[in-house]
Amino acid sequence: NAGVTQTPKFQVLKTGQSMTLQCAQDMNHEYMSWYRQDPGMGLRLIHYSVGAGITDQGEVPNGYNVSRSTTEDFPLRLLSAAPSQTSVYFCASRPGQTTDTQYFGPGTRLTVL
């Protein structure tokens, strides 16, 4: 199993550009989440999904959209990038409601100029 994968590893955007951060897992996990990590701020939840077709907002959802059309994929979309979205983004998955352990992807480092 590849586990949780994320692409790209690094990305530089200009203010106002749009892009999609990709996240995929091959473990048939029901739950998937997106976090952003900023210095001194820990891991803050952006959006999460408890199954295909079901998504919900986390602590810091503004400026981000998600969808979950398949169990495997959970892309994060930035519609109009802002410098405040410069961060490291982590995707995570866990098997389901009865298992609490989360598995993180390798992260995407995004810089918005």
Partner 1 sequence: GENVEQHPSTLSVQEGDSAVIKCTYSDSASNYFPWYKQELGKRPQLIIDIRSNVGEKKDQRIAVTLNKTAKHFSLHITETQPEDSAVYFCAASKGGSYIPTFGRGTSLIVHP
Residue 24 burial (CB count, 10 A): 19
Smallest distance, partner 1 to C-beta of residue 100, A: 5
Write the DSSP symbol of residue 96: B
Interface residue with partner 1, options 13, 25, 48, 89 (CB under 8 A): 48
Residue 78 burial (CB count, 10 A): 20
Q: Is 14 helix (H, G, I), strand (E, B) or coil?
A: coil
Q: Does 105 bind partner 1 (CB under 8 A)?
A: yes
Stretch that binds partner 1, among 19-27, 63-71, 77-85, 100-108 (CB under 8 A): 100-108
Q: Which of 76, 72, 89 is nearest to 1 (CA)?
A: 72
Q: Does 42 bind partner 1 (CB under 8 A)?
A: yes
Binding mask 2-41 for partner 1 (x = CB under 8 A): -----------------------------x-x-x----xx
- CA–CA separation, 104 vs 32, rounded Å? 10
- Output the six-digit token pair for 4: 């949780």
Residues lying near partner 1 in the complex (CB under 8 A): 31, 33, 35, 40-45, 48, 50, 58-59, 90, 97-98, 100-102, 104-107
